[in-house]
Chains A and B, each alone.
Chain A
Amino acid sequence: MSSSDTNRDSASRRDFLKATTVAAGAALVSNLVPAVHAAGSDQIKVGVIGCGGRGSGAADNVLHAAKNVSIVALGDVFKFQVDGLRNRLTNLGKSDAIKQKGNSVDVEGRCFVGLDAYKQVIDSGANYIILATTPGFRPIHLQAAVAAGKNIFTEKPVGVDGPGIRKVLEAAEEAQKKGLHIVAGTQRRHQRLYVETMKRIHDGAIGDIVAGRDYWMQGLLWQRISELPKHPEITTEVGKQIFNWYNHTWLCGDHIVEQHVHNIDVLNWAIGAHPESAVGMGFRTRTDPRFGHIYDFFAIDYKFPKDVHTLSMCRQISNCASEIGEYMVGTKGTCHTADRHTYLIDGKPLFTRKELKEQPDPYVQEHTDLIESIRSGKPINELKRVAESTLTAIMGRMSAYTGKQVSWEQALNSKEDTMPKDLTWDMQLSEAPVAIPGKTPLI
């Protein structure tokens, strides 16, 4: 082990303590022995469900996160994605950095393709499941992985609608009872300087938070319809929509849920609660059908307890003002956080450039923290928290799509199940219409 590894490991231990201190109360069930702490061995055997860019990233991250980690199974709806990740991992497994940690890749015979591939990965002997498919599938994947007693790294968001979030909250409770370890891919919660900034806020650095605002405003994101000719094997409508998933609400949740959930989560974190209701607006300026039916901008007024309001704006339109970040206004001062480079209280940087530069990669750190929680037998379970942040974003989308004020209960108890009923690869599936505020009903 190199000295930098030693530093990182001890640093991560400190961060883990900080993170759990912040999360204390809700998540820790210290008197339960984790049911799935691998008997006689603490080898982490990873099954990856969802082999696209992020699943591939998470697979790479987990191999760098701790010692004695092996990737044992892969699953995706598309064969080309499974093949791509298998090839990349096979090469990565040969690298010295991975070998030195005693980590490995052995997925031969355990690469699965199709809508049911997730079941096969869960049954493959893995004890650590990475969920990184398109978000629409997350609730059923979480249910299945928790039912099977697996530890889980789940990407955000964890659902795209109320019915999905209800499944996730049930799974969160079941996981808690089973003492499972779950970390979510809202990586700011594992980013050293975000954790440190939040600690200062919770210690009263800006007093009580009375207002907030947060942004994810960027340019146009992608569509993949123009790439379809490279994949003649994708012939069905379901296949095409999953391939172009970002642009379909049933798969993506719209960008307020898929992307902006990061910033929304930071404000929930800072305030220490989820909002009670939302009034929002949004629509789309794009007309190209390759971009499905999602909106390209949202502005949401969230009402938190004690009449604290936050303004949440997200946009994916090029040539417009762009910003990603969060602002907290307190009775004694203000805080501005953004991404990996901005942590200010009352306009003053909290950290030096050196400290910014030396922040560990939070995408690796989140796995380090999860594995440490597994090996120390102290369950960390972020599922309820990320479900609430996801539902916060969904509530905002529902308000924008319908034009109505939407309460937390309305969002949570919504009957709008966007997942096509009895989904099969070959089923008929029409394109959902673009929601029209004032006309689209609140269901």
Chain B
Amino acid sequence: MRRLIQFSVAAGVGVLMLALWRLGESPEGGPVRAEPPAMKHKSYKQTIPDTKTTFEMIAIPGGTYKMGSPAGEKDRKDDEGPQHPVAIRPFWMGKCEVTWDEFDLFWRAHPGQKEDKEPENPKNADAVTRPTPPYADETFKKGREGKPVLCITQHTAMQYCRWLSVKTGKIYRLPTEAEWEYACRAGTTTAYSFGDDPKKLGEYAWFADNADEKTHTVGTKKPNPWGLHDMYGNVCEWCLDHYDAKYYSRFPLDKPTLSPVLLPTEKRFPHVTRGGSWGDEAKDCRSAARLSSELDWMKQDPQRPRSIWWLTDADFVGFRVVRPVEEQDNLKGLRSKITRQSPVD
């Protein structure tokens, strides 16, 4: 409890409310389904300035949950445990995965120009470095309009968020792994947010059984209980965190850890991706399933240094954005540290 009080003092009223809500939680069993506190923030539609392109952001209440899967869950892997309580501050999450329609506005703003160093604090979104043109069909013939961006590095996803932040004046970033699973579960404790039966996955997700080896227009399957689409399948989604198979063993099991994140560094790999993709079986789309990025995802890059923007062998990874209501201290001013000199292993 001491730790929690420190948080409350440090982070102010919002987290205090969160702490009060936690009182409804049973320390032994799973979380009691207490009503989330009335949210001050509301879902909204964001127009990307100077364009007609919009995307929707869903308000996600703060709260606590058990991150990871219980030891008895079918198809569970060791890296999903131990299950540990986590507290999450309120935030917004993209209703859908980021599409090429949005992403093209970012990376094609200066056609054909190679990247350059950007100023420390760019005030103009055009100053944010952006992907160099790839020697490839970056859509991997999986479609562009309405389809999720794919085969990009975590650095690219982070730079998109930076560009979007400068452009809109709001903080957009990748979700932490803890935020991602929290939003994916949407208050549920089953293998999927619709229960434990993988036979129902086809109603919610484009995955190996129904995707026909490609991505599909975002938001065309049923949403999860909080209104988020394609949390399972379509593309697996970049999180902010580095991947560590034993990461969960670092946390106390008897009290929630607030907003854990394994901060990204100058290393290009490994990072966490979540939710499974068009190519994954149902078991790899479970709420707790984790997939780590690796050098193999860009093994066919013929250039050195390897591109920091485009992957070559991961036509299944994309991302969605989140926006914190109040940014956690260790993410304030966070920027990707990746450069062309960054090590790959």
Contacts and interface: CB of A to CB of B under 8 A. Distances in A.
Interface residues of B, number: 31
B279 A57 contact: no
B133 A226 contact: no
Interface in B202-222: 213
A322 B138 contact: yes
Interface stretch (B39-47, B249-257, B302-310, B317-325): B302-310
A223 B108 CA distance: 14
Given A219-B108, A222-B114, A353-B279, A361 B300 contact: yes
Contact of B305 (A56, A217, A323): A56
Given A220-B133, A222-B112, A340-B312, A322 B139 contact: yes
A338 B108 CA distance: 25
Nearest to A344: B213
A53 B133 contact: no
A218 B137 contact: yes
Given A322-B141, A361-B299, A221 B304 contact: no
Contacts of A31: none
B247 interface: no
Contact of B113 (A226, A259, A325): A226
Interface in A323-365: 323-325, 338-342, 349, 353, 357, 361-363
A222 B132 contact: yes
Contact of A220 (B112, B136, B139, B279): B112
A323 to B, nearest CB: 5
Interface string A71-92: 0000000000000000010000
A21 interface: no
A274 B26 CA distance: 74
Nearest to A219: B133
B104 interface: yes
Interface string B112-152: 11101000000000000000111111111100100000000
A110 B95 CA distance: 57
Contact of B302 (A54, A221, A357): A54
Interface residues of A, number: 40
A322 B133 contact: no
A341 B133 contact: no
B169 interface: no
Nearest to A53: B303
Given A324-B136, A341-B315, A363 B114 contact: no
Contact of B313 (A220, A223, A340): A340
Contact of A322 (B108, B113, B137, B300): B137
A116 B315 CA distance: 42
Contact of B304 (A57, A219, A318, A322): A57
B73 interface: no
Contacts of A340: 300, 312-313
A203 interface: no
A337 B306 CA distance: 25
Contacts of A222: 112-114, 132-133
Given A217-B137, A222-B132, A322 B112 contact: no
B207 to A, nearest CB: 12
Nearest to B304: A56
A227 interface: yes
B72 interface: no
A223 B112 contact: yes
Given A322-B139, A322-B144, A218 B303 contact: no
Contacts of A353: 279
B78 interface: no
Contacts of A342: 141
B134 A218 contact: yes
A111 interface: no
Contacts of A323: 137, 141
B50 to A, nearest CB: 17
Interface in B248-299: 279, 296, 299
Interface string A46-61: 0000000110111110
B114 to A, nearest CB: 6
Contacts of A259: 135
B327 interface: no
A56 B303 contact: yes
A290 B296 CA distance: 35
Contacts of B135: 218, 221, 259
Contacts of A318: 104, 108, 111
Nearest to A215: B137
A218 B137 CA distance: 5
Contact of A218 (B136, B296, B300): B136
B67 to A, nearest CB: 28
B111 A220 contact: yes
B196 interface: no
A339 to B, nearest CB: 8
B304 A53 contact: yes
B75 interface: no
A7 to B, nearest CB: 15
Contacts of B140: 339, 341
Contacts of B301: 57
A227 B137 contact: no
A136 B140 CA distance: 30
Contact of B138 (A216, A219, A338, A362): A219
Nearest to A259: B135
Contacts of B112: 220-223, 290-291
Contacts of A59: 304
A227 B135 CA distance: 19
A224 interface: yes
Nearest to B299: A361
A287 interface: no
Contacts of B305: 53, 56, 88
A2 interface: no
A319 B145 CA distance: 10
A319 B104 contact: yes
Nearest to B313: A340
A44 to B, nearest CB: 19
B120 to A, nearest CB: 19
Interface string A33-68: 000000000000000000001101111100000000
10 contacts: A53-B304, A54-B303, A56-B304, A216-B137, A219-B108, A220-B112, A318-B104, A319-B104, A323-B137, A340-B313
Interface of A: 53-54, 56-60, 88, 187, 216-224, 226-227, 259, 290-291, 318-319, 322-325, 338-342, 349, 353, 357, 361-363
Given A56-B304, A340-B313, 11 more contacts: A54-B302, A56-B303, A218-B134, A219-B108, A219-B134, A222-B114, A319-B108, A323-B137, A324-B136, A353-B279, A363-B300
Interface of B: 104, 108, 111-114, 116, 132-141, 144, 213, 279, 296, 299-305, 312-313, 315
